[in-house]
Chains A and B, each alone.
Chain A
């Protein structure tokens, strides 16, 4: 009875805490500007099914795709097992689903195999990160927290899977010696090999079985509450993020409506623009970005696929699209914390541009879209870069001198170079 109450309290507390944190993140995302991403629902659904459920963009790199796939289905399917843990925990039952008979044995057997593949995959991931030192996992933005974050999660997953398999092994042994409460149920294709490592007294086995059970469930609840602080949030946000991703051609940049009004008024003095809020042009801080940009930031898994294909980054420039996303996430989190502490009006005098992302970074981008193409969850770092440029150019007139010269030429000569418009057709004379 005590155990049941303890279980219930723990579970409810964990869910409550998670809800509070999740709502904060959703509140933060809503600080972004409006943008309509509710069009073409069918196409959006298909995109989500393909990219998030189907992991279609992972296959570009087959080895991690293969390993990630095991961790992914392991995660999805082991949730069924959590359901049994929940019921057993609340009602004090043991293996409540054993009535399913052969199907139950099949399920437990497949969980074991999955748990094993998850274990192996995570171990390989750890080796890749820490021993093989893949270039993709290094970089200025991958120091301290982001670096340990990945390791913590991998180690936790390995521990959780170990506990699950040990628990089953103890259970199987208890079943074989006919201990009361331990019903004959399950098939143990993996954990059977652990049985000989375990003691043979019933009391010791019960302790092992129970502590693994508790470790497993506490681990899962802790994992849930770790997510909002971690890049592993992508296991939830990958789904809405791909659903709301950009469906237009990658090369198409938004036409700013506020500018259209002003330009129309300039070209045609009789034009009366529709009422629109003045606002600023482009983005200086995260709240000038759209909610999709901010959701992107919370979804980023810091995998670095974007950075590893970025021509600027490849050639040693400061720009790293992954850093753009991580900076955006860090800044919006900071803005959210300011609101919690000092109220919505508080200004801390910082901004995304300059305090987090430097000018040198944004001006190194060739707008080639390699990053958006590579991202396994359809994140768009390029849009943030462009919004920052828009602010620098339109609000501050702070472009590199040569860019100013180019723009001056377009304005005066209708071409980015300093040639006379009258010479534009001269090519037809040569041969």
Chain B
């Protein structure tokens, strides 16, 4: 990256406070594909000149997969340690790159002593667009391209956010097509509830394949995602169908970064 990503520790040492903390998440930190999304979110933050920071090595898993798997102990250990770090830095506002981190910090941390204003990166992008700070110019054109958006369960049904990601796509002047199951009726990618970390139970199909089949019915050029886990599941499905050449799976942050030439 041609700029340095600021950490909380550095800002603190310089006696400064950021406007917003970017919570990267485990997938965003370690998964190679998701790292690209992480970097694009940083590029967007840098481009619009928001004063932000990340925790870097001080960040730790939110505990979401442990909680969904039923390990409340491990979850609360993680949550309380994270809350201690966040409170020590006097964090007020957080943007996450992952709906699971978003849901956990927003809804489950307050009861354990960590109350913050939490937004998902698609909401940040929507705000920046409506404030006129982000446009879709200077980069790759998505004009007229067929895009279908996959609602992540933990952003959509779990928290009722359906409009922000769609608004971020509308600005592209692309051709948005909805899948048969979308918004509150959307179909899971198959990764939630700690499924990401285990083999699926036996059935007659994998959930991500079912979802990708549905997405392909819209004949898209791009499947837009807003979650690193959905990204993995959808990309795997597309690979399995041998459609990588025709169909790209891209996060809303990546699409925004490309459209703005970042």
A263 touches B (CB below 8 Å): yes
A229 CB to nearest B CB, Å? 33
Chain B contacts for A426, CB-based, 8 A: 29
Task: Given the known inter-chain contacts A260-B76, A394-B70, please indicate yes or no for A366 contacting B111, CB distance below 8 A.
Answer: no
CA A414 to CA B210, docked complex, whole Å: 32
CB-CB under 8 A from A410, the residues of chain B are 61, 63, 65-66, 74, 78
Q: How many whole Å from A389's CB to the nearest CB in chain B?
A: 3
A428 to chain B, nearest CB (A): 4
B49, CB-defined interface residue at 8 Å: no
Shortest Cβ distance from A382 into B: residue? B193
Q: Does residue A304 face the partner (Cβ distance < 8 Å to B)?
A: no
Counted as pairs of residues, one from A and one from B, with CB atoms less than 8 Å apart, the total is: 218
Establish whether residues B57 and A422, one from each chain, have CB atoms under 8 Å apart when the complex forms.
Answer: yes
Of the four ranges (under 10, 10 to 19, 20 to 34, 35 or more), the interface on chain A belongs to 35 or more
CA of A256 to CA of B197 in the docked complex: distance in angstroms? 23
Residues of A407-431 at the interface with B, using a CB-CB cut-off of 8 Å, are 407, 410-411, 414-417, 419, 421-431
Q: How far is the CA of A370 from the CA of B195 in the complex (A)?
A: 16
Partner of B203, one of A309, A317, A392: A317
Contacts A368-B153, A417-B26, A421-B60 given; does A253 touch B74 at CB 8 Å: no
Interface string of A233-252 (1 = CB under 8 A from B): 00000000000000011111
Q: A318 interface residue, CB < 8 Å from B?
A: yes
Question: Could you say which residues of chain B place their CB within 8 Å of the CB of A253?
Answer: 67-68, 108
CB distance from A415 to the nearest CB of B (A): 4
Once the chains bind, are A370 and B160 in contact (CB under 8 Å)?
A: no
Q: Separation in Å of the A251 CB from the closest CB of chain B?
A: 3
1/0 contact trace for B107-122 toward A, CB 8 Å?
A: 1100110000000000
- Contact residue among B66, B153, B201 (Cβ-Cβ distance under 8 Å from A364): B201
Interface residues of B in 158-199 (CB under 8 A from A): 158-160, 181, 184-188, 190-199
Given contacts A390-B71, A425-B7, 19 further A-B contacts (CB under 8 A): A249-B103, A251-B103, A259-B73, A260-B112, A315-B206, A366-B188, A370-B157, A386-B70, A389-B70, A403-B69, A403-B194, A406-B66, A406-B194, A410-B63, A411-B74, A423-B30, A427-B24, A427-B28, A428-B4
- Cross-chain pairs A/B with CB under 8 angstroms, 27 sampled: A249-B106, A252-B103, A259-B76, A309-B185, A311-B188, A312-B203, A315-B200, A317-B201, A368-B188, A368-B193, A370-B187, A372-B157, A394-B70, A399-B69, A406-B65, A407-B71, A410-B61, A414-B60, A415-B60, A415-B61, A416-B26, A416-B61, A424-B59, A425-B57, A427-B29, A428-B4, A428-B54
B contact residues vs A (CB 8 Å cutoff): 1-2, 4-5, 7, 24, 26, 28-30, 35, 38-39, 42, 54, 56-57, 59-61, 63, 65-74, 76-78, 80-81, 103, 106-108, 111-112, 153-154, 157-160, 181, 184-188, 190-207, 210-211
